[in-house]
Structure 1
């Protein structure tokens, strides 16, 4: 998947009127982190999103969970190190056809 396709997926994900302000912030944060290359194979950590958006990590966690339930984000099955904390975490990404993160 190239940058154009990733951007189109991000745009389609963001143009949703049924999301709250913080959910939109989280989605925009994920899209920006991916677009600017601050990701690992299309995955970003909740702490990265919190740093970028200025939202509390607990708020980001709650919003990502609701976005995962709504199929607006996908969560990695593998634990990988968070670039911020170094702890092993499940990262999130934008959904792509096939259920993997769109890189």
Structure 2
């Protein structure tokens, strides 16, 4: 992914990626290519996995157990048009400015 980004005329200033493991991989590859995180590129992951805390990755913490419970509850209902509200929190660490 980072290789494709480097082929662009202008590097993005920030990435929001699918999860913390992807964020960790981008950070490690960025170090090899001398891209400074967060000075040249900010990164935000998802899930607040242990690797995010260990590497200081800014992440969106989602209540996955609650989301699963809500999904199961709604799967048995006939009226599934009502919105599902999910709370989340941004845990700012070392990968954003």
| TM-score, structure 1 as length reference | 0.28
Specify which structure has the higher proportion of helix: 1
Task: Name which one, 1 or 2, has greater alpha-carbon Rg.
Answer: 2
